[in-house]
Amino acid sequence: MSDTCVYDKAKYHYDGDFPADLPNEQAFVHTGLFLGWMIEHRLYSIDFEEDAEEDIAAFKQRQLTGTQIYMNWDGVLADDMLSDEGNRFATVYFDFENGTYLEDYQDTFSDAPTLYHVEDTWDNYFQLKKVIDQRFMDWKNTNAK
Protein backbone atom coordinates (compact mmCIF):
# COMPACT_ATOMS: atom_id res chain seq x y z
CA MET A 1 0.00 0.00 0.00
CA SER A 2 1.50 3.31 -1.04
CA ASP A 3 1.62 6.46 1.04
CA THR A 4 -0.80 9.19 0.14
CA CYS A 5 0.75 12.35 -1.27
CA VAL A 6 -0.94 15.45 0.10
CA TYR A 7 -0.69 18.41 -2.26
CA ASP A 8 -2.16 20.91 0.15
CA LYS A 9 -4.13 21.32 3.35
CA ALA A 10 -5.96 24.51 4.24
CA LYS A 11 -4.70 24.20 7.81
CA TYR A 12 -1.12 24.58 6.55
CA HIS A 13 -2.16 28.11 5.64
CA TYR A 14 -4.46 29.30 8.42
CA ASP A 15 -2.12 27.77 11.02
CA GLY A 16 0.81 29.51 9.32
CA ASP A 17 1.56 32.99 7.99
CA PHE A 18 -2.08 33.94 7.48
CA PRO A 19 -3.58 37.46 7.61
CA ALA A 20 -5.23 37.94 11.00
CA ASP A 21 -8.03 40.04 9.50
CA LEU A 22 -9.33 37.22 7.29
CA PRO A 23 -11.61 34.32 8.17
CA ASN A 24 -10.01 30.87 7.98
CA GLU A 25 -12.27 30.06 5.00
CA GLN A 26 -10.01 32.21 2.83
CA ALA A 27 -7.24 29.62 3.27
CA PHE A 28 -9.34 27.22 1.18
CA VAL A 29 -9.78 29.40 -1.93
CA HIS A 30 -6.48 29.03 -3.82
CA THR A 31 -6.60 25.23 -3.71
CA GLY A 32 -10.38 25.09 -4.04
CA LEU A 33 -10.21 26.92 -7.36
CA PHE A 34 -7.66 24.38 -8.57
CA LEU A 35 -9.80 21.47 -7.37
CA GLY A 36 -12.73 22.97 -9.27
CA TRP A 37 -10.62 23.06 -12.42
CA MET A 38 -9.64 19.41 -11.90
CA ILE A 39 -13.32 18.50 -11.52
CA GLU A 40 -14.24 20.49 -14.62
CA HIS A 41 -11.70 18.46 -16.60
CA ARG A 42 -12.64 15.08 -15.06
CA LEU A 43 -9.13 14.63 -13.68
CA TYR A 44 -10.40 13.04 -10.47
CA SER A 45 -10.12 9.44 -9.35
CA ILE A 46 -12.88 6.85 -9.52
CA ASP A 47 -12.94 6.75 -5.71
CA PHE A 48 -13.36 10.53 -5.50
CA GLU A 49 -16.08 10.38 -8.14
CA GLU A 50 -17.96 7.76 -6.13
CA ASP A 51 -17.52 9.58 -2.81
CA ALA A 52 -18.17 13.09 -4.14
CA GLU A 53 -20.79 12.32 -6.80
CA GLU A 54 -23.30 14.87 -5.46
CA ASP A 55 -20.63 17.54 -5.01
CA ILE A 56 -19.34 16.99 -8.55
CA ALA A 57 -22.86 17.26 -9.98
CA ALA A 58 -23.48 20.45 -7.96
CA PHE A 59 -20.19 21.91 -9.22
CA LYS A 60 -21.09 21.18 -12.83
CA GLN A 61 -24.44 22.91 -12.28
CA ARG A 62 -22.58 25.86 -10.66
CA GLN A 63 -24.39 25.27 -7.37
CA LEU A 64 -21.22 24.47 -5.42
CA THR A 65 -17.76 25.94 -5.98
CA GLY A 66 -14.52 24.00 -5.98
CA THR A 67 -13.66 25.80 -2.74
CA GLN A 68 -16.86 24.57 -1.11
CA ILE A 69 -16.04 21.03 -2.20
CA TYR A 70 -12.50 21.43 -0.84
CA MET A 71 -14.07 22.51 2.46
CA ASN A 72 -16.33 19.44 2.38
CA TRP A 73 -13.15 17.34 2.09
CA ASP A 74 -11.69 18.96 5.22
CA GLY A 75 -9.42 21.19 3.18
CA VAL A 76 -7.25 18.36 1.91
CA LEU A 77 -6.13 17.83 -1.68
CA ALA A 78 -4.40 14.47 -2.00
CA ASP A 79 -3.28 12.23 -4.83
CA ASP A 80 -5.98 9.64 -4.14
CA MET A 81 -8.55 12.25 -5.18
CA LEU A 82 -7.02 12.62 -8.65
CA SER A 83 -6.73 10.42 -11.72
CA ASP A 84 -3.32 9.30 -12.98
CA GLU A 85 -3.27 12.15 -15.50
CA GLY A 86 -4.52 14.57 -12.86
CA ASN A 87 -1.67 13.56 -10.57
CA ARG A 88 0.93 13.85 -13.31
CA PHE A 89 -0.24 17.40 -14.03
CA ALA A 90 -0.64 18.39 -10.38
CA THR A 91 2.82 17.08 -9.52
CA VAL A 92 4.36 19.38 -12.12
CA TYR A 93 2.05 22.41 -11.99
CA PHE A 94 0.49 22.57 -8.52
CA ASP A 95 3.65 21.71 -6.55
CA PHE A 96 4.25 24.79 -4.39
CA GLU A 97 8.03 24.41 -4.46
CA ASN A 98 8.64 23.77 -8.16
CA GLY A 99 5.38 24.35 -10.03
CA THR A 100 4.01 27.59 -11.39
CA TYR A 101 0.43 27.44 -10.05
CA LEU A 102 0.93 29.92 -7.21
CA GLU A 103 2.80 32.28 -9.53
CA ASP A 104 -0.03 32.06 -12.07
CA TYR A 105 -2.56 32.54 -9.29
CA GLN A 106 -0.85 35.63 -7.95
CA ASP A 107 -0.37 37.05 -11.46
CA THR A 108 -4.05 36.45 -12.26
CA PHE A 109 -5.19 38.16 -9.08
CA SER A 110 -2.42 40.75 -8.84
CA ASP A 111 -4.80 43.32 -7.31
CA ALA A 112 -5.28 41.16 -4.21
CA PRO A 113 -2.97 42.07 -1.30
CA THR A 114 -2.19 38.37 -0.71
CA LEU A 115 -3.25 35.09 -2.29
CA TYR A 116 -5.60 34.70 0.66
CA HIS A 117 -7.59 37.81 -0.24
CA VAL A 118 -8.95 36.32 -3.49
CA GLU A 119 -12.68 35.71 -3.20
CA ASP A 120 -14.35 32.42 -4.02
CA THR A 121 -16.47 33.60 -6.94
CA TRP A 122 -17.37 32.06 -10.28
CA ASP A 123 -15.86 35.10 -12.02
CA ASN A 124 -12.53 34.43 -10.31
CA TYR A 125 -12.76 30.74 -11.15
CA PHE A 126 -13.33 31.45 -14.84
CA GLN A 127 -10.52 34.01 -14.90
CA LEU A 128 -8.08 31.48 -13.42
CA LYS A 129 -9.50 28.64 -15.51
CA LYS A 130 -8.22 30.32 -18.69
CA VAL A 131 -4.69 30.37 -17.30
CA ILE A 132 -4.78 26.75 -16.09
CA ASP A 133 -6.33 25.64 -19.39
CA GLN A 134 -3.34 27.11 -21.22
CA ARG A 135 -0.84 25.57 -18.80
CA PHE A 136 -2.55 22.19 -19.18
CA MET A 137 -2.47 22.39 -22.99
CA ASP A 138 1.21 23.33 -22.87
CA TRP A 139 1.90 20.46 -20.46
CA LYS A 140 0.00 17.97 -22.63
CA ASN A 141 1.90 19.13 -25.71
CA THR A 142 5.27 18.65 -24.01
CA ASN A 143 4.31 15.42 -22.29
CA ALA A 144 2.53 13.67 -25.13
CA LYS A 145 2.31 9.94 -24.63
The answer to whether the predicted template modeling score (pTM) of the entire model surpasses 0.85 is: yes
pLDDT tens string 23-79: 999 999 999 999 999 999 999 999 999 999 999 999 999 999 999 999 999 999 999
Model pLDDT for residues 68-115, shown as the tens digit of each residue: 999 999 999 999 999 999 999 999 999 888 999 999 999 999 999 999
CB atoms within 10 A of CB 83: 19
Residue 17 parent element (H or E): none
Q: Where are the domains of the chain?
A: 6-16+23-137
Is residue 121 within 8 A of residue 23, CB to CB? The reply is no
The residue ranges of DSSP E strands in the chain, in sequence order, are 6-9, 76-78
